[in-house]
Chain A
Amino acid sequence: AQTVTQSQPEMSVQEAETVTLSCTYDTSESDYYLFWYKQPPSRQMILVIRQEAYKQQNATENRFSVNFQKAAKSFSLKISDSQLGDAAMYFCAYRSSNYGGATNKLIFGTGTLLAVQP
């Protein structure tokens, strides 16, 4: 079974600085998808960025980028020029690309609570 581990329960960053959130996962599959979701105090789950395992190029979305290391099974999220609105819980998630399976479910890590200091 696949697992996702986020080893940083809490992180803090100064406004305008850069912060990196860590995520590791365990799987025997060669093809899969990885996601970072943001959960602000409103509880809404918001997709930040996604990565397809067969793509070597790291995904980027404006100030958000990932460092995807497939051999190390690592998927970290870098937030550049941090803003007060980035303060939230961040979840790393894994989805199988097993076409024969029926789940298509997301497997989540335990989350990292990011505080942004003004």
Chain B
Amino acid sequence: NAGVTQTPKFRILKIGQSMTLQCTQDMNHNYMYWYRQDPGMGLKLIYYSVGAGITDKGEVPNGYNVSRSTTEDFPLRLELAAPSQTSVYFCASSYAQGTRRNTEAFFGQGTRLTVV
């Protein structure tokens, strides 16, 4: 089972460049998330989606955009990359329906992004 697949695993960007981090899940999960992980800061939520066509901001959305055209895919777009966006990015997915909310969140393997 593939689970959550993120690409690329590593990327170096120059200041001002743009890129898209890809995320795909094959578990038919309705919820998908993008987190960033910075040293000593834990994981902070950038954007999330509760289903196809529905997205919303998390704690640190500035400088990012997302879309959710299908259940499987949840790409994260970085426009005009800045050094402050140097981080490790994680995509995750989970399933929640009605009272069933204790389910595990599955994570991709992360993308280490450096902006120089």
A residues with a Cβ closer than 8 A to B are 4, 6, 9, 33, 35, 42-45, 47, 50, 52, 91, 95-97, 99, 102-111
Contact = CB atoms under 8 A, between A and B. Distances in A.
Interface of B: 31, 33, 35, 40-45, 48, 50, 56, 58, 88, 90, 92, 94, 96, 98-99, 101-102, 104-105, 107, 109-110, 112
Contact of B33 (A50, A105, A109, A110): A105
A110 B40 contact: yes
A107 to B, nearest CB: 8
28 contacts: A4-B42, A42-B109, A43-B109, A43-B110, A44-B107, A50-B102, A52-B102, A91-B43, A95-B102, A96-B101, A97-B101, A99-B99, A103-B48, A103-B56, A104-B31, A104-B48, A104-B96, A104-B101, A105-B33, A106-B33, A106-B43, A106-B45, A106-B92, A106-B105, A107-B45, A108-B35, A108-B44, A111-B40
Contacts, number: 63
B104 A47 contact: yes
A17 to B, nearest CB: 26
A91 B40 CA distance: 11
A52 to B, nearest CB: 6
B101 A95 contact: yes
